[in-house]
Amino acid sequence: MKVIPAIMPRSRSELEMYAGRFVGLAPVVQIDVMDGIFVPEKTWPYKNGFDKSLIGTLPHTDKIMYEIDLMVDDPEDTFESWIRAGAKRAIVHIESIKSISDIATRFDDTIELGVAVNIETPLEVLFACLEDESCASRISVVQCMGIARIGFQGQPFDAHVINMIRTLRERFPKLIISIDGGINFTTAQQVADAGADRIVSGSTILKSANYAEAIDRLKNISAVS
């Protein structure tokens, strides 16, 4: 199982602190950013509206690949700022974009696009793009949200995501499926058994006494054959 630690920084200094802790432990780290519009919470750098000058260059880009989970309205207007800062993947939420196909055309081989989908959103909104090779080839991962209320770490796992995983896996056998939200050692096993390839974990890792042990335990989860 691929394990992606998630951090929800309230400031640039908090980002640097947490990122430094994952150097050597996790090759990929997800940064959750929220604008207070698409979700109620606000994080850096959205405290007073989006301020791209606050991003600077992401720390430790020689040791960490960053993916940015854009829980924001109109991510089409901001994702390029994160790419310039050193991120290698931008994850946009299907509910916040105008068109998957249109945003996919703005990604080339050097930038990875992820598409997130909420529990209550019908998967059919993804099917047309995923069945179109020119569009699907631009999408590196589909991220199913494992909680009903996104943007809040520590939310309970919503078992409805299990059927979402199974549906996607059956219809798109080669699709990389990631689960974000509500992941702990028990639910990680459940999503692995359903067919997930990756898990994104915030609270389970960050609240553990030993990050390395928590990551290793999650990595060692495998689907029941």
Torsion (CA) 185, 29, 170, 167 in degrees, nearest 10: 70
| Dist CA 205 CA 211 (whole Å) | 6
> Is 225 inside any structural domain?
no
> Is 78 inside any structural domain?
yes
> Is 66 inside any structural domain?
yes
Q: Enumerate the β-bridge partners of residue 141.
A: 114
* C-alpha neighbours within 13 Å on the C-beta side of residue 165: 28
> Is 65 inside any structural domain?
yes
b vs e for 85-106, b when ≥16 Cβ sit within 10 Å of the residue's Cβ? Answer: bbbbbbbbbbebbeebeebbee
The CATH number covering residue 58 comes to 3.20.20.70
Amino acid making up residue 147: I
User: What per-residue confidence (pLDDT) applies to 222?
Assistant: 77
> Is 222 inside any structural domain?
no
Query: Which regions in the chain score pLDDT beneath 70?
Result: 153, 223-225
Amino acid making up residue 218: L
| Dist CA 52 CA 77 (whole Å) | 11
> Is 132 inside any structural domain?
yes
| Dist CA 189 CA 125 (whole Å) | 27
Q: Answer for the pair 99, 123: CB distance below 8 angstroms, yes or no.
A: no
Q: 192 lies in which domain range?
A: 2-217
| Dist CA 171 CA 142 (whole Å) | 13
Using alpha carbons, select from 157, 174, 220, 225 the residue that is nearest to residue 3: 220
> Is 223 inside any structural domain?
no
What is the full DSSP assignment across 29-76? EEEEEEBSSSSS-B-TT-BTB--GGGT-SPTTTTT-EEEEEEESS-GG
Using alpha carbons, select from 117, 59, 68, 73 the residue that is nearest to residue 88: 68
> Is 118 inside any structural domain?
yes
User: What per-residue confidence (pLDDT) applies to 188?
Assistant: 97
User: What per-residue confidence (pLDDT) applies to 224?
Assistant: 65
User: What per-residue confidence (pLDDT) applies to 132?
Assistant: 94
The CB density around residue 24, as the number of other CB atoms within 10 Å, is: 11
Tally the domains of the chain.
Answer: 1
